[in-house]
């Protein structure tokens, strides 16, 4: 029997998209014959993932998990909303979120980690799931927040079940841990889900985005025909409104419609140190499909 080398396993994995252990077994079963190994994987349904890997996956689930003073969140994408209701897919997202608590927020490190209860990686488990479910899937991003003293809270909007939904928010609140602080953390999560802030504080606003906004505001102000000195003051006033739109601590608290988020947090004797918001499929360009054309193509018309 031919020696099964790591290079052979890697080559077969790249050709089929199947898991590392499955590729090794396929090569062993086929005596090192690459084509026979590919056929072996196809017969087992494990090479199907390769054909699906190029299809757009913008649906799926955002999942969150908690442990002590940590909270983790993952976005796992699939091609259709239907898959989000698949129990095996939900279990995978839940497991990935829990594993992220220890692995951290490096998506590649999470993919390389051993999938609980198995001897293979998270990436290999996902390949097997792709072959089983029949859709392209991917772990898109991971976030983890941690507090020294306080609460790592979360909120999931439109949850299919606890911890799984289409919009997820993590919130890190430093302070005296209590039920009241945990409630505030969840309320901040709801606020973030609704208002979509870009930055936590004014200091964290992207300088390039601020300069672009100032340029637009200045041009708008000049259209009024006012002197440059007046225009400068007008821009200053409008920048303040810009901050109120994009900076979390400067926003109006959605739960009362009048207080600033900063005031609410300070009133609780806490400090808001970080937030993360994942919206499922955000930024992924979805393919526009012509169903009639697809049917015609399939029929050879």
Give the tens place of pLDDT for each residue, 190-235.
999 999 999 999 999 999 888 888 888 888 778 777 787 888 888 8
Give 54-109 pLDDT, tens digit per residue.
Answer: 455 568 999 999 999 999 999 999 888 888 999 999 999 999 999 999 999 999 99
Residue 2: predicted pLDDT: 72
Residue 45: predicted pLDDT: 63
Residue 285: predicted pLDDT: 61
Residue range(s) of every CATH 3.30.479.20 domain in the chain: 59-196+267-279
Residue range(s) of every CATH 1.10.286 domain in the chain: 206-246
Out of 233-237, 242-246, 257-261, the most confident range is: 257-261
Q: Are 52 and 123 in contact (CB under 8 A)?
A: no
Rounded Cα distance between 300 and 82, Å, is: 28
> Is 290's pLDDT higher than 50?
no
Give 114-131 pLDDT, tens digit per residue.
Answer: 999 999 999 999 988 988
Residue 267: predicted pLDDT: 96
Mean pLDDT of 266-274: 97
pLDDT band at 287 (very low <50, low <70, confident <90, very high): low
Nearest Cα to Cα of residue 160 among 78, 93, 97, 254:
93
Cα torsion for 17, 21, 27, 28, to the nearest 10°? -170
> Is 294's pLDDT higher than 50?
no
Give 128-182 pLDDT, tens digit per residue.
Answer: 898 888 888 899 999 999 999 999 999 999 899 999 999 999 999 999 999 999 9
> Is 301's pLDDT higher than 80?
no
CATH class for the domain made up of 6-52: mainly alpha
Residue 43: predicted pLDDT: 67
Mean pLDDT of 248-276: 96
CATH code, residues 206-246? 1.10.286
Give 5-16 pLDDT, tens digit per residue.
Answer: 988 888 887 777
Q: What pairs with residue 71 in β-bridges?
A: 66, 145
Give 22-46 pLDDT, tens digit per residue.
Answer: 888 889 988 988 888 887 876 666 6
| Topology, domain 59-196+267-279 | Tetrahydropterin Synthase; Chain A (3.30.479)
């Amino acid at each position: 029997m031919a020696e099964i080398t790591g290079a052979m396993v890697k080559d077969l994995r790249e050709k089929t998209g199947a898991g590392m252990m499955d590729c090794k077994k396929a090569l062993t079963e086929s005596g090192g014959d690459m084509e026979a190994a590919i056929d072996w994987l196809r017969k087992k349904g494990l090479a199907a993932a390769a054909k699906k890997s190029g299809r757009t996956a913008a649906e799926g689930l955002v999942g969150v998990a908690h442990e002590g003073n940590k909270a983790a969140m993952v976005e796992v994408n699939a091609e259709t909303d239907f898959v989000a209701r698949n129990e095996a897919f939900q279990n995978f997202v839940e497991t990935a979120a829990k594993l992220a608590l220890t692995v951290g927020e490096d998506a590649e490190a999470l993919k390389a980690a051993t999938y609980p209860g198995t001897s293979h990686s998270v990436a290999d488990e996902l390949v097997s799931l792709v072959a089983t479910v029949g859709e392209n899937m991917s772990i898109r991003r991971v976030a983890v927040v941690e507090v020294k003293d306080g609460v790592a809270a979360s909120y999931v909007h439109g949850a299919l079940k606890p911890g799984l939904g289409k919009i997820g928010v993590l919130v890190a609140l430093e302070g005296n841990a209590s039920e009241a602080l945990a409630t505030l953390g969840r309320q901040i999560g709801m606020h973030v889900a609704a208002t979509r802030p870009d930055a936590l504080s004014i200091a964290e606003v992207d300088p390039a985005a601020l300069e672009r906004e100032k340029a637009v505001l200045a041009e708008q102000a000049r259209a009024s025909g006012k002197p440059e000195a007046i225009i400068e003051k007008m821009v200053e006033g409008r920048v303040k409104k810009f901050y109120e739109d994009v900076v979390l601590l400067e926003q109006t608290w959605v739960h009362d419609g009048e207080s600033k988020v900063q005031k609410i947090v300070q009133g609780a004797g806490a400090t808001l140190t970080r937030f993360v918001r994942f919206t499922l499929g955000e930024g992924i360009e979805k393919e526009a499909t012509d169903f009639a054309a697809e049917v015609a193509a399939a029929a050879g018309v």
